């Protein structure tokens, strides 16, 4: 069932780029809402800014990381490879400006995915790597030299204290990934939580390529239970706000409601008569589920175009809708009538 949508995604992404007529054939999209625009990057392709006091964030316009300078060393939070060596440059810049050491002593993984941790090996030596116990298991499984497994792990909660600063790490269940954690800076009025909310933008394919639909949908409520003003979401070019989280929740809630309505209203009979009766079970499944997805996604795309950036790139909302619709069928049930 998902294979059909994957094939559709691949065709959508690659066919314009393979056109012999070049850029003129590429699709046009709606203007990016001003609320989705990020900070200007420097000549080296990054931006580093102060969040509060000695907590800083770094972005290349697509990915984000953070670091905390202390009297005993620098604590780095995530190491996206797209930022790569610019993390070192950003740390050096802020440490020099504030007269503190630039030595990275700790690196905290938000989760195990390479796109947020693949530059970890740039910070070697005596760096202490910290992450959820599942992060350690997955990194040992993946056996990637770019991502050393955590030396320090925890199951539910861990308080990191370095150079008079305190950071609270917590795992509240699977969401985007099995190991994705909440990183709270209580003395800096900031929360870092990756790959669920994109400030001003829709999620990309399949709820930001997330593993657990129910956990993903529930995560923003947990985010809002924390006290914070500044939110580091891991992607794109600005910090997020509580309003960004609320808009994301509304988008997801609208998809849920629209998916329920589509499941109740799309008649599977024509697809069964065309394909199922001929023995093509997967043809029936493809036709019916695509029809449900299209009916559920269409009003969401129309509503959020101009509100959330990339809402008009229809494949994003369609695949996210497909994932949520399938979770409604398979996790919440019923997936269909019980045969008498």
Residue 104 pairs in a beta bridge with 74
pLDDT of residue 333: 81
Mean pLDDT of the region 315-319: 97
CA 23 to chain CA centroid, Å, is: 29
Extended strands (E) in 246-314: none
Q: Is 318 exposed, middle or buried (0-12, 13-18, 19+ CB in 10 A)?
A: buried
pLDDT of residue 211: 92
Q: pTM of the prediction?
A: 0.91
For the stretch 236-276, pLDDT in tens is 999 999 999 999 999 999 999 999 999 999 999 999 889 98
Confirm if 31 and 305 have CB atoms less than 8 A apart.
no
pLDDT of residue 170: 98
Mean pLDDT of the region 126-146: 96
Per residue in 52-68, is it b (16+ CB within 10 Å) or e — as a string?
A: eebbbbbbbbebbbbbb
Q: Look at 172-176, 214-218, 220-224, 268-272 and tell me which has the smallest mean pLDDT.
A: 268-272
What stretch of H or E contains 93?
helix 85-98
pLDDT of residue 91: 98
pLDDT of residue 339: 67
Dihedral angle over CA of 102, 106, 110, 111, nearest 10:
120
**Whose CA is closest to 201, among 296, 307, 298?**
307
Collapsing DSSP states into helix, strand and coil, what is residue 186? coil
Mean pLDDT of the region 171-188: 98
Confirm if 91 and 77 have CB atoms less than 8 A apart.
no
Question: Is the predicted pLDDT of residue 14 greater than 60, yes or no?
Answer: no
Mean pLDDT of the region 81-104: 96
**Whose CA is closest to 170, among 153, 157, 187?**
157
Mean pLDDT (the chain) is 92
pLDDT confidence tier of residue 9, bands split at 50, 70 and 90: very low
Question: Is the predicted pLDDT of residue 125 greater than 50, yes or no?
Answer: yes
Question: Is the predicted pLDDT of residue 210 greater than 60, yes or no?
Answer: yes
Rounded CA separation 202/315 (Å): 11
Confirm if 169 and 160 have CB atoms less than 8 A apart.
yes
Question: Is the predicted pLDDT of residue 10 greater than 50, yes or no?
Answer: no
pLDDT of residue 20: 59
**Whose CA is closest to 105, among 53, 47, 165, 58?**
165
pLDDT confidence tier of residue 1, bands split at 50, 70 and 90: very low
Residue 274 pairs in a beta bridge with none
Sheet holding 182-185, edge to edge: 157-162, 165-170, 182-185, 190-192, 230-232
Rounded CA separation 283/315 (Å): 21
For the stretch 269-292, pLDDT in tens is 999 889 988 899 999 999 999 999
Beta pairing class for 104-108 and 73-77: parallel
Looking at the chain, the whole-number percentage of residues with pLDDT higher than 70 is 93
For the stretch 189-200, pLDDT in tens is 999 999 999 999
pLDDT of residue 278: 86
pLDDT of residue 16: 46
pLDDT confidence tier of residue 6, bands split at 50, 70 and 90: very low
């Amino acid at each position: 069932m998902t294979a059909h949508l994957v094939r559709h995604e691949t065709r959508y992404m690659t066919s314009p780029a393979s056109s012999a007529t070049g850029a003129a054939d590429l699709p046009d999209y709606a203007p990016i809402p001003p609320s989705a625009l990020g900070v200007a990057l420097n000549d080296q392709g990054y931006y580093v800014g102060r969040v509060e006091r000695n907590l800083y964030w770094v972005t290349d316009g697509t990915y984000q990381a953070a670091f905390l300078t202390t009297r005993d060393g620098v604590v780095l939070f995530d190491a996206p490879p797209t930022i790569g060596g610019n993390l070192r440059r950003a740390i050096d810049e802020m440490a020099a400006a504030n007269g503190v050491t630039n030595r990275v002593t700790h690196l905290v993984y938000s989760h195990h995915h390479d796109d947020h941790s693949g530059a970890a090996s740039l910070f070697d030596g005596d760096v202490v790597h910290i992450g959820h116990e599942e992060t350690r298991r997955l990194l040992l499984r993946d056996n990637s030299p770019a991502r050393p497994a955590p030396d320090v792990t925890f199951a539910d909660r861990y308080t990191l204290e370095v150079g008079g600063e305190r950071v609270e790490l917590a795992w509240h269940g699977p969401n985007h990934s099995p190991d994705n954690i909440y990183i709270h800076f209580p003395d800096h009025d900031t929360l870092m939580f990756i790959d669920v909310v994109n400030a001003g933008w829709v999620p990309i394919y399949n709820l930001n390529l997330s593993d657990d639909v129910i956990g993903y949908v529930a995560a923003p409520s947990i985010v809002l239970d924390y006290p914070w003003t500044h939110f580091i979401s891991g992607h794109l070019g600005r910090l997020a706000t509580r309003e960004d989280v609320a808009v994301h929740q509304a988008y997801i809630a609208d998809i849920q409601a629209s998916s329920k309505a589509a499941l109740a209203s799309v008649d599977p009979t024509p697809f069964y008569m065309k394909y199922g009766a001929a023995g093509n079970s997967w043809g029936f499944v493809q036709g019916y589920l695509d029809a449900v997805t299209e009916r559920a996604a269409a009003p969401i795309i129309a509503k959020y175009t101009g509100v959330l950036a990339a809402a008009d790139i229809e494949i994003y909302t369609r695949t996210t809708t497909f994932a949520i619709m399938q979770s409604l069928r398979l996790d919440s049930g019923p997936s269909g009538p019980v045969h008498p």
